[in-house]
Copies of this chain bind each other. A is one copy, B any other.
């Protein structure tokens, strides 16, 4: 039977992620910079094995049973301490909600805040899975351009001023540290300005911070927005996917108690709660300091791989190609001459040169630019990084010289 007539209207808003669609073309001879996966050598597999054994020997009754929607108390308490070390002060574990990765938090945010037609604001470009999660709820998404210091707060203020009569701007979504896809880290000055502007126009801020804890620039990253938030305006998201392992599917939200209460109600009907076993594992990884001891190692792996990719880019890329130099995150954002459509170029890159990337257009809320691509440097091996960038440069030259 054909199920077309049964589908809800909103299924028109469901699009397959291009990143995932593109994987279908990839064979084992293709070097992929397309994903966003951590280096598996950074996973604390042995430690996870040990803590799992202990948990299942001492409290299997609890760890294998149903749990509460907001999450295992021990984990929320550990997270209050963990966030405290980077200056994020939350009143207590009641201000924390455990989610199935940060992705679930993005869906919950859309569900709780977005009416069709509401405005939301993002960096442009921004994380495409956030766009995907929000779009289902029918918002009008306004992208604010970025420069090397992050979101252009002057453009943000102009935009909010113009929209203030219309009302209904719900939130500003930002990834301040090691932004996805650009790798840019927002400057301290911009962070302060962003908070001031959000306060002046009374909108919420969603701070997505998957990469803050593994910032590999010199010194510490600029302060989290949540750490500077005196009004309960910032909804802070982070994840264990980058500091421990994505296979646990664990993320968390820190926000005012009122926000958390609504999120909890939303989550209850989505999936009741997050895996109890995995939450106990994460709590124990934090309690024993395993995550904190693992972080310097992850930073070192990513710093080295970033350096390699930057070196390969310098060595191979033709004139007219530029790229970001990230101090955090997992991606380099490459800009090619404007006559190149990276979406169109992808097929020859994969099929003829055996190299894959994510075309930039999906990251723009309104798909305005076509001459960027996102390159992941955390998953490929050093050899793959060098060889893949060499192939990519060849693909670019070939595409530019093609007959039209």
Report if A247-B276 is in contact (Cβ < 8 Å); known contacts: A1-B233, A61-B43: yes
Contact of A111 among B10, B60, B171 (CB under 8 A): B10
- Asked if residues A275 and B258 are in contact (CB atoms below 8 Å), the reply is no
Nearest CB of chain B from residue A138's CB, rounded to whole Å: 10
Given contacts A247-B65, A249-B275, A275-B248, whether A6 and B270 have CB atoms under 8 Å apart is: no
1/0 per residue, CB under 8 A from B, across A1-34: the answer is 1110011111100111100100000000000000
CB distance B37 to A272 under 8 Å?
no
Interface size on A, residues (CB 8 A): 86
A270 to chain B, nearest CB (A): 5
Count the copies. Answer: 2
B37 touches A60 (CB 8 A): no
By a CB distance below 8 angstroms, the chain B residues around A45 are 56, 60, 64
* A239–B170 CA distance with the chains assembled, in angstroms: 37
A323 in the interface (beta carbon within 8 A): no
Within 8 A of B (CB), among A57-79: 57, 60-69
Q: Chain B residues near A61: list those with CB within 8 A.
A: 40, 43
Which chain B residue lies CB-closest to A202?
Answer: B1
Q: A11-B112, A104-B270, A233-B1 are in contact. Are A64 and B40 (CB under 8 A)?
A: yes
Docked Cα-Cα span, A10 to B111, in Å, equals 8
Question: 16 extra interchain contacts, Cβ-Cβ under 8 A, other than A3-B258, A8-B112, A9-B115?
Answer: A1-B231, A2-B258, A6-B204, A14-B265, A20-B268, A45-B56, A46-B56, A52-B52, A66-B241, A103-B270, A111-B136, A129-B269, A129-B272, A132-B269, A135-B269, A270-B270
* 7 A-B pairs (CB sep. < 8 Å): A1-B256, A6-B113, A8-B112, A48-B60, A65-B246, A107-B269, A133-B270
